[in-house]
Amino acid sequence: MPKSKRAKVFHLTQVTKKTREQKDKLFQNIRDAVPEYQHCFVFSVDNMRNSYLKNVRHELNDSRLFFGKTKLMAKALGQSPSEAVAPGIEDLTQYLSGTVGLLLTNRPAESILEYFNNFAPVDFARAGVASPRDFTIPAGVVYATAGEVPVEHDVPLEHTIEPELRKLNVPTRMVKGRVVLGDESGQGEGYVVCKEGDVLDSRQTRLLKLFGVCVSEFKVKILAYVPTGTVVVVNGMITLLLTFLLPSPRYWSSASGDVTEVDPSAMEGVGEN
């Protein structure tokens, strides 16, 4: 039988699935680590970047971060009081969905919340994300930042980039050694690269990068945490204590393993705006 002459696709990358041993190790690592720390946070990540996540690990090198299958992490924490690795921690499992992770730390909760509120590095957008803003290349001589900074502080775009702009469907041309869009005097409409809310494609992200426009923000959001056995849900800058999840506020000591109840009057004012 003659050989097929159809083009065949050969994948040069190979991704191996996690083995049962690796999953069991993650499960046990979470179970073993929880009693060693005073706080367990559930956090979500917007616009994941490994480089920025490494910075977080470096800054919080006295803490532990875990990423994995949400069902596996929920099972490790315990999904019922009888399975929970620590009192009250089973209530965190309802927040384990999507791109989330666990942070175990002995640092004060206030310092962790403040750190992540202030940590929001920007980066170039990737295809598939929604643009948070409009971006238009102004008509006239095209500058390196396309109007992101005043003309007196900008420089004309290099002529070597002009062919790539045309390949990306930007109707530019060369006039006296300068890249020009539309009328040389700057009259007329510019070229709209994207509008707020548009789902960016690879062409748009390439144009944004050519002009040095960063519209993607790496952001870690704390969804909820357990400060010694009582679930706290974080909603923006307001912290709410969900006392209805437990019959009475309880505080668990990782050092002694004891659970003590708190006088309800001591919680007055918590959760009020």
Is 222 within the bounds of a domain? yes
> Can you give the residue range of the structural domain that contains 211?
135-215
Residue 208 and residue 181 share a domain: yes
One digit per residue, the tens of pLDDT, for the chain of length 273 reads: 566 667 666 566 665 666 788 889 999 999 999 988 999 999 998 888 888 889 999 999 999 999 989 999 999 999 998 898 888 888 899 999 988 999 999 999 999 999 999 998 888 999 999 999 999 999 999 999 998 989 889 999 999 999 999 999 999 999 989 999 987 776 778 999 999 999 999 999 999 999 999 988 889 999 998 875 556 677 543 333 333 333 333 433 334 444 444 444 444 444 444
DSSP 8-state class, residue 2: P
Q: How many domains does the chain have?
A: 2
**How many helices (H) and strands (E) are present in the chain, helices listed first?**
6, 15
One-letter amino acid at 149 equals V
CATH label of the domain that carries residue 71: 3.30.70.1730
Q: Which amino acid is at 221?
A: K
Confirm whether 130 is domain-assigned: no
53 in a structural domain: yes
pLDDT at residue 182, as a whole number:
85
Q: SS3 of 112, please?
A: helix
How high is the pLDDT of residue 242?
Answer: 33
In the chain, what is the greatest distance between 2 CA atoms, to the nearest angstrom?
86
